Amino acid sequence: MNSKGNRFFLGGNTPKGFYSFFSEVMPLKDANRIFCLKGGPGTGKSSLMKELGKEYEDKGYNVEYFHCSSDSDSLDCVLLKDLNIAILDGTAPHTTDPKVPGAIDEIVNLGQHWNEEGIKKYKTDILSVQNSITNNFNRAYKYFNAASIIHEDWSSLNNEALNLNKFNFLMEELKDKLYKSTVSSMGSCRNLFITAFTPTGIVTFLDNLVDRCDTTYVLNGPPGTGKHEILSYLSDEGLKRGFHIDVFHSPIVPEKIEHIYIQELNTSVISSNELNQQLYHGHQVYMENYLNYDTINCLNEKIIDAKNCFYTLLNKGLSILTEAKKAHDDIEKYYIPNMNFDEIKDVKKYIADKITSIESSLSK
């Protein structure tokens, strides 16, 4: 898969609160540089990353964009894969500080380019809005947690009907179709989200992934029909054979896997599920064919009740995220007029010059 323009999430709003995979951007041992941007809301971090990402994508580099789950139009990180260089937002809720200062990471402080006196006079207002944002996120997480409990009930009802003999045969069949060879390297796994709960609803970049794959297998079915178990098994089997795998987690149960991408095969195995509610092109596997229909029919009323309750709670949580986003937009109003964005252009040039220097050293 050509990585140009790939779009993911490094963090998610989940039943467990904010769930971070920021450490998974790339292995630290491989990193040539990590620019850790610090600054307040509205200080230009996302715009700077977008501009740098586009410039290097236009130059032909493989670029990955990691979006913010609290505002999917904004970025949390840009990764220049060919150069092993990341530019990321190091502020809350995904506070990131240098792990190998100077040798790999460096802090880029955008706070040096604001009018502090202009911001200080809004101290009381900023604190009030920050408190509102925190309360709204905490409320949203409670509703997501309640939804996850009902989701587990929905899953367990479907799981009661799973025909294990047929299911185990399916897992082996998919493994044999995928892995006809091994590669001469150690396998590795990168954990990410490709779907997130955001203030504008459930946002997924799965289409972006599927469009770039040579082969896609689509597991269609509701929760509890074994999709996570298949994906976990296929991921483990791929790692044993030396493949590099991107593992995409579920925002409703972040310990569970929604999709995987096998880099060397340019192949994905994805779920068409209760969150994305979309049909995808590829080799279709219908998980309901592996259920006992007599059992499902007996449980149907309970399943419908759980499904309806799940979406009610989930949608309430999403609506509260919308309230949090409105408050966040309010707080930006105190910062944007007090930023010197001409100086931010100089910051961008500083980063670009550093990247050019790394390019030159790598080409020698």
pLDDT, one tens digit per residue, over 158-168 is: 999 999 999 99
Looking at the structure, do residues 173 and 279 belong to the same domain, yes or no?
A: yes
Let me know whether 166 and 109 are in one domain. Answer: no
Query: 224 near 154, Cβ under 8 Å?
Result: yes
Q: Over 80: is that where the pLDDT of 113 sits?
A: yes
Q: What is the pTM of this model?
A: 0.96
**Residues 142, 265: Cα–Cα separation, whole Å:** 40
Amino acid at 34: I
Query: 335 pLDDT exceeds 90?
Result: yes
Amino acid identity of residue 158, one-letter, is N
For residue 148, is pLDDT > 90? Answer: yes
pLDDT at 3 > cutoff 60: no
The DSSP H or E segment spanning 5 is none
The proportion of the chain whose per-residue pLDDT surpasses 70, expressed as a percent, equals 99
Domain carrying residue 238: 162-291
pLDDT at 241: 94
Q: Going by DSSP bridges, is the β-strand pair 71-80/215-220 parallel, antiparallel, or unpaired? A: unpaired
Same domain, 179 and 285: yes
pLDDT confidence of residue 4: 60
Upstream peptide bond of 93 is cis (omega within 30 degrees of 0): yes
For residue 231, is pLDDT > 90? yes
What is the average pLDDT across 101-113?
Answer: 95
| Closest residue by Cα to residue 202 from 314, 46, 74 | 314
Does the structure show a pLDDT above 80 at 364?
Answer: no
- Is residue 95 domain-shared with residue 35, that is, in the same domain? yes
Q: End of a domain among 258, 291, 324?
A: 291
How high is the pLDDT of residue 183? 82
Whether 39 is in a domain gets the answer yes
What sections of the chain are H helices per DSSP? 45-58, 116-120, 123-159, 164-178, 206-212, 227-240, 293-335, 341-363
Would 301 be classed as within a structural domain?
no
Tell me whether residue 125 is in a domain. Answer: no
How many other C-beta atoms lie within 10 A of the C-beta of residue 1? 18
Question: Does one domain contain both 256 and 355?
Answer: no
Same domain, 235 and 346: no
d(C-alpha 197, C-alpha 164), whole Å: 32
Phi-psi category of 361—alpha, beta or left, where left has phi over 0 and alpha has psi -120 to 50? alpha
In a domain, 27, yes or no: yes
Looking at the fold, whether 84 and 187 belong to one and the same domain comes out as no
- pLDDT digit string (tens) for 296-315? 999 999 999 999 999 999 99
Terminal-residue alpha carbon distance, the chain = 27
Q: Do 346 and 287 sit in the same domain of this protein?
A: no
Q: Per-residue pLDDT tens for 170-183?
A: 999 999 999 998 88
The answer to whether residue 264 is domain-embedded is yes
Q: Could you tell me which residues are beta bridge partners of residue 283?
A: 217
In DSSP notation, 184-203 reads SS--EEEEEESEEEETTEEE
Give the pLDDT confidence score for residue 184 in this predicted structure: 75
Average pLDDT over residues 326-344: 95
Q: Does residue 268 lie within any of the structural domains?
A: yes
The pLDDT, as a whole number, for residue 5 is: 82
- Cβ atoms of residues 74 and 139 within 8 Å: no
Helices (H) and strands (E) counted in the chain, each on its own, are: 8, 16
CA torsion, ordered 283, 284, 285, 287, to nearest 10 deg: 160
pLDDT of 2 > 60? The answer is no
Asked, for residue 265, whether it belongs to a domain, the answer is: yes
User: How many domains in the chain?
Assistant: 2
Verify that 282 and 213 share a domain, yes or no.
Answer: yes
Same domain, 250 and 183: yes
Note whether residue 130 is domain-resident.
no
Mean pLDDT of all residues in the chain?
A: 96
Residue closest to 4 by CA, chosen among 160, 148, 176, 212? 212
Q: How much of the chain, in percent, has pLDDT values that exceed 90?
A: 93
pLDDT tens-place string over residues 41-61: 999 999 999 999 999 999 999
Contact 40, 89 (CB under 8 A): no
Residue 281 shares a structural domain with residue 199: yes
